[in-house]
Amino acid sequence: MSNKATIQKFGTLPVFFTAISTILGAILFLRFGYAVGTVGFWGVIGIIILGHLVTIPTALAISELATNKRVEGGGEYFIISRSFGLNIGATIGIALYLSQAISVAFYIIAFTESFQFFFEYVLSNYDLHLPRQVISIPAIIILGAVILYKGANLGVKALYFVVAILFAAIVLFFLGSGNTDTESSSLIFKNSTFDSSNFFIVFAIIFPAFTGMTAGVGLSGDLKNPSKSIPIGTLLATFGGMIIYFFIVYKLAVSASIDDLINNQLIMGDIAIQGKWVIQLGLAASTISSALGSIMVAPRTLQALAHDKAFPNRGLNYWLSRNRKKDKEPINSSLVTLIIALFFVALGNVNTVAEIISMFFMVTYGALCLISFLNHFGSSPAYRPSFKSRWFLSLLGFIISIWVMFKINTTYAFVAFVVMSGLYIFLNYYHKNRKGFESIFSNAIFQLNRNLQVFLQKKTNKKVFSEWRPSAICISKSTFERDKALTLLNWISHKYGFGTYLHRIEGYYSKQTYQQAEDELLKINNIVRKNDSHVYIDTIISPSYTSAIAQAIQIPGIAGMENNMVIFEYDKEKPEDLSHIVDNFALVNAGRFDVLILASSRRGIKYENGIHIWISSTDSSNANLMILLGFIISGHPDWKKADIKIFDICKPELEDQTRKNMEELVTSGRLPITSSNIEVIPQDPEVHQKDLVNQKSYDAGLVMMGYREESIKRDNMFSGYDQVGTILFVNSHSEKIIE
């Protein structure tokens, strides 16, 4: 999204300060006293907890999504559009942008409240009722001129200064005593009004204070390391703000009477040390810092929308997406944002609009939580965030976001959904060729489809799936003799892949073999039911191994996607069975399948000794598939205490480069493999690879090795590994990409 020149600017502090300054903003100074006086201490505690049941799951979801793939310019819009598609992303993004732009006006108008002394002075001395625009319009013009002229760098520097003032004001507030009325304070603590109609009225008034926690995410395109700065900055601000809220509410409850709390919106000034000027200065600092945060973030959201050609005019998209050459600031988007903010500042009253703003923020938060939940539910191998939330927290955040919208204002909630639905219909019509929901919903649909079919034992129609994940099929008549093949398929299918196990009944299809198939299927199901298997199990009746394979590879995958992998299995102590596999390799290979050959050992699997993956310079085409399979298999609970270890055999002169390449692959692919578990072994003509495997992987739980198509018919290809246990030989039909 952002040009390369705009990247590598800010660290974590701007994210934290932008968020915390908005969280500890105008609502805190102007409305928390009223809230405590109206619904009591416990009522406001309930409001804070309810609000954070939305914001904490959202903060966790953003942190998770930001560590899966790089978040470029546009922050929340970028995450949503890359998950739900550009059309629905633009729908939410436009609403989000307008909310951010109008928030600038909201904070500037709140800023004028810190000049209450000035308006009172003019009224008492000159009998003039000055409009708030006397302060707010010059303030937005000056602020806009500074941002337009100096850009975000100066905005961040100013942010440090105003946040320091803000925290100083809060500290002086806690150090103050106020006029404590014991009886009134006691009433405040007893006044728990969760069932009162006032609860959600007050919730609607102070909820905008909670929405600041994602303010720093909009700087994503200007961060050195978004996957680090966004989680740390956002979560620190969210949890830190919540804790400060609790203490401020307690301080208000014990330091002022109910009447003062309700009727004096600057009651914090009566409590703080030197509060008459300190709190007004703190209010000014908080509102200006919030306005600064919004005025830096909103243009970047608008610019990201324009980069994605969200607007129905090529010239407008080009103009809005342009940067200023000297500092790469989104100058045109900033200008539009300031014009919108100036318009609402001139109106002077944005209370109604502020409530609609909350609706659009709630839609954004709900969408982010839903994206996180769907990614958890879909269990795609490509979804490997280094920071992990929990699926139930994301689902909770989504549900509460929608519920709270309707509790705050049912009419405005419907208006928000109607407006956004109309906008989506228009964008879908304008961008007819853009596909939206498939990307994120396909994983969830396949996962749901898989679980339903495992339960109901039904097949579905084929569906197209663009992202690679294993959909394996295995045919074996030795199910009751050894279970390694079924176990392997269950490892693959537990979370990330799909598997079909076909128990072969040798013979022609008849009433007798049909009944035999029914009976043996029941036995197998009784066995796997105890093991929480995710494998779809069926039987196949065929007179020969070849005909069984020919039938099996043509059936649709149980998850709705085509099978892309075939697993063969043989007993290491009965190598004569291997000839059937070798004879049928060409048949399977014609269907472009990845072919896995499992050499089952009668030795038990020592899971704690981990998975050993052997890679050599002559077999690089299979490397990525083996690494991905290692990651996928290790997701099964059997391997929860196991590590993946990679042995890479290379030419002596390439040892350093090979290690560097492998470590970069593991790091960029976010794979759970440490550097200490990567062993690069220089080739030694006098030491055979099989001897190395026997020596280093003697005790491994599972050994994985690649093989090439042209080498499968060698007599000694699969022999010579007598010292190791179960081996999985891997042939990748096409190279897999680890993103």
Predicted local distance difference test score (pLDDT) of residue 568: 92
As a whole number of angstroms, the distance between CA 72 and CA 3 comes to 10
CATH number of 601-739: 3.40.50.620
As a whole number of angstroms, the distance between CA 222 and CA 9 comes to 5
- Interstrand relation of 594-600 and 565-571 (parallel, antiparallel or unpaired): parallel
Give, in order, the Cα–Cα distances in Å from 559 to each of 333, 461, 588: 45, 9, 20
Length of the chain: 739
Mean pLDDT, rounded, of the chain? 82
The closest alpha carbon to 111, from 229, 316, 282, 248, belongs to 282
The yes-or-no verdict on residue 219 having pLDDT over 70 is no
Predicted local distance difference test score (pLDDT) of residue 457: 47
As a whole number of angstroms, the distance between CA 442 and CA 221 comes to 28
Contact 21, 159 (CB under 8 A): yes
The closest alpha carbon to 423, from 72, 165, 92, belongs to 92
Domains 11-430 and 437-594 share a fold: no
pLDDT above 90 coverage of the chain, percent: 14
Mean pLDDT of 84-100: 82
Look at 266-270, 292-296, 301-305, 404-408 and tell me which has the smallest mean pLDDT.
292-296
Q: How confident is the model at residue 156 (pLDDT cuts 50, 70, 90)?
A: low
Q: Where do we find the tokens 């490397």?
A: 623
Q: Name which residue leads in pLDDT, 101 or 8.
A: 101
Give, in order, the Cα–Cα distances in Å from 461 to each of 148, 438, 453, 479, 557: 56, 17, 12, 28, 9
Look at 104-113, 172-181, 578-587 and tell me which has the smallest mean pLDDT.
172-181
In what helix (H) or strand (E) does residue 152 lie, and over which residues does it extend?
A: helix 152-175
pLDDT tens-digit map of 359-402: 878 888 888 888 888 888 777 777 778 778 888 898 999 999 99
> CATH number of 437-594: 3.30.70, 1.10.287, 1.20.1260, 3.40.50?
3.40.50
As a whole number of angstroms, the distance between CA 524 and CA 538 comes to 9
Contact 552, 473 (CB under 8 A): yes
Predicted local distance difference test score (pLDDT) of residue 286: 81
Predicted local distance difference test score (pLDDT) of residue 694: 92
Predicted local distance difference test score (pLDDT) of residue 427: 82
As a whole number of angstroms, the distance between CA 137 and CA 105 comes to 10
Q: How confident is the model at residue 440 (pLDDT cuts 50, 70, 90)?
A: low
Q: How confident is the model at residue 352 (pLDDT cuts 50, 70, 90)?
A: low
- H-only helix segments in 379-409: 391-408
Enter the DSSP assignment of 432: T
Mean pLDDT of 264-272: 86
Predicted local distance difference test score (pLDDT) of residue 181: 55
Mean pLDDT of 31-44: 87
Mean pLDDT of 324-334: 82
Q: Name which residue leads in pLDDT, 25 or 354.
A: 25
Predicted local distance difference test score (pLDDT) of residue 462: 47
Predicted local distance difference test score (pLDDT) of residue 6: 40
Predicted local distance difference test score (pLDDT) of residue 50: 92
Domain assignments of the chain as residue spans, ordered by start: 11-430, 437-594, 601-739
Main-chain dihedrals φ then ψ at residue 534, nearest 5 degrees: -110, 15
Q: Where do we find the tokens 């000014």?
A: 284
Long-range contacts at 540-545 (CB < 8 A, ≥ 24 apart)? 540/475, 540/502, 540/503, 540/504, 540/505, 541/504, 541/505, 541/507, 541/508, 541/509, 541/513, 541/514, 541/517, 542/504, 542/505, 542/506, 542/507, 543/506, 543/507, 543/508, 545/475, 545/504, 545/580, 545/584
CATH number of 11-430: 1.20.1740.10
Mean pLDDT of 282-296: 81
As a whole number of angstroms, the distance between CA 336 and CA 320 comes to 9
pLDDT tens-digit map of 503-549: 999 889 999 999 988 998 898 888 877 777 888 889 999 998 889 88
Handedness of CA 364, 369, 374, 380 (dihedral sign): positive
